[in-house]
Amino acid sequence: MNNEIAELKQIIEDSDNIVFFGGAGVSTESNIPDFRSENGIYNAVNQYGYPPETMLSHTFFKIHPDIFFDYLRKTLIYPDAKPNNAHIGLAKLEKMGKLKAVVTQNIDNLHQMAGSKTVYELHGTLYRNYCVKCHKQFDIDYIMNSEGIPHCDKCGGIVRPDVVLYEEGLDDTTVYNAVNAIRKADVLIVGGTSLNVYPAAGLIDYYRGNKLVLINKSTTPYDRRANLIIRENIGQVFKEVLDL
Ligand SMILES: [Zn+2]
């Protein structure tokens, strides 16, 4: 076991108020590619003629819902993805009473699949969908099993995922809960994010403790503020730290 892993192990052992903040890197280890990555952008432009940021904008959804849903089904939804050791480890820490919340930028439901209960999904989730007219709720299968633009079986309105599109604001309650958890946290573990996506990344600024742990393969703008930096795959880190 290397020094950083031993140090993280100790930090976790000593705390019962840990909060985890995670980004796309947590999901890529479950083979869900990051649509914001170079590859993701290249493939989107190549196949559709638009970058992901455009196709996942509110305006584009309004004007080209057909392309929006095609991109969604083919590129964003991975029904066979399974939680990895990071998800499993975090769920275990919550069960042990050590972890208070997971704050995530991901929209893939993998934390809940691993058993986590308190999950603040800053960008919403693909697993909740609703009719824009009557607000009836639908699950992800309704989207996957429909063709073209999914319509509500009650009123005929368009059924859209409850995710935050570009040009749309984050959900106030979710942000409030996330800020509150981070502000009160004794330990903040940040993983799988280069902390470049705003406004989500700005939430880290609310942390007031002195145990900021960064687990990320590349450098981040917050490296100087971190008390511990681990440059390894996040799944591997949790596997070693929690003996999974
Ligand atoms: Zn409806």
Q: Ligand 1: distance of its center to the CA of 160 in Å? A: 11
**How far is the C-alpha of 101 from the C-alpha of 120, rounded, in Å?**
7
Contact indicator for 25, 192 with CB cutoff of 8 Å? yes
Contact indicator for 159, 183 with CB cutoff of 8 Å? no
Share of the chain above pLDDT 70, in %: 98
Tokens of 194: 């280069």
Tokens of 237: 């880190």
Give the tens place of pLDDT for each residue, 28-54: 999 999 998 999 999 999 999 999 999
* Mean pLDDT value across residues 155-166: 98
Contacts for 244 with CB less than 8 Å, ≥ 6 apart = 85, 88, 89, 92, 238
Contact indicator for 31, 82 with CB cutoff of 8 Å? no
pLDDT band at 197 (very low <50, low <70, confident <90, very high): confident
Q: Ligand 1: distance of its center to the CA of 79 in Å? A: 24
Residue 24, pLDDT > 90, answer: yes
Q: Is 180 exposed, middle or buried (0-12, 13-18, 19+ CB in 10 A)?
A: middle
The verdict on whether 111 is a catalytic residue reads no
pTM of the model: 0.95
**Strand pairing class (159-163; 187-191):** unpaired
pLDDT band at 1 (very low <50, low <70, confident <90, very high): low
Per the residue annotation, which of 58, 64, 111, 123 is the catalytic one? 123
Average pLDDT, the chain: 95
Q: Ligand 1: distance of its center to the CA of 155 in Å? A: 4
Residue 202, pLDDT > 90, answer: no
| Region of poorest pLDDT, from 27-31, 145-149, 179-183, 221-225 | 221-225
Contact indicator for 88, 244 with CB cutoff of 8 Å? yes
Q: Ligand 1: distance of its center to the CA of 106 in Å? A: 26
Residue 191, pLDDT > 90, answer: yes
What pLDDT shows up at residue 243? Answer: 93
Contact indicator for 87, 119 with CB cutoff of 8 Å? no
**How far is the C-alpha of 51 from the C-alpha of 132, rounded, in Å?**
25
Continuous segment of H or E residues that includes residue 70 = helix 65-71
Q: Ligand 1: distance of its center to the CA of 62 in Å? A: 17
Q: Ligand 1: distance of its center to the CA of 138 in Å? A: 10
DSSP 190: E
Q: Ligand 1: distance of its center to the CA of 161 in Å? A: 13
Q: 183, 179, 191: which is closest to 228 by C-alpha?
A: 191
* Mean pLDDT value across residues 187-191: 97
If DSSP states are collapsed to H, E and C, what string results for 197-242?
Answer: CCCHHHHHHHCCCCCEEEECCCCCCCHHHCCEEECCCHHHHHHHHH
Q: Ligand 1: distance of its center to the CA of 72 in Å? A: 20
Tokens 């909740």 belong to: 128
What pLDDT shows up at residue 201? Answer: 76
CA terminus-to-terminus distance, the chain: 14
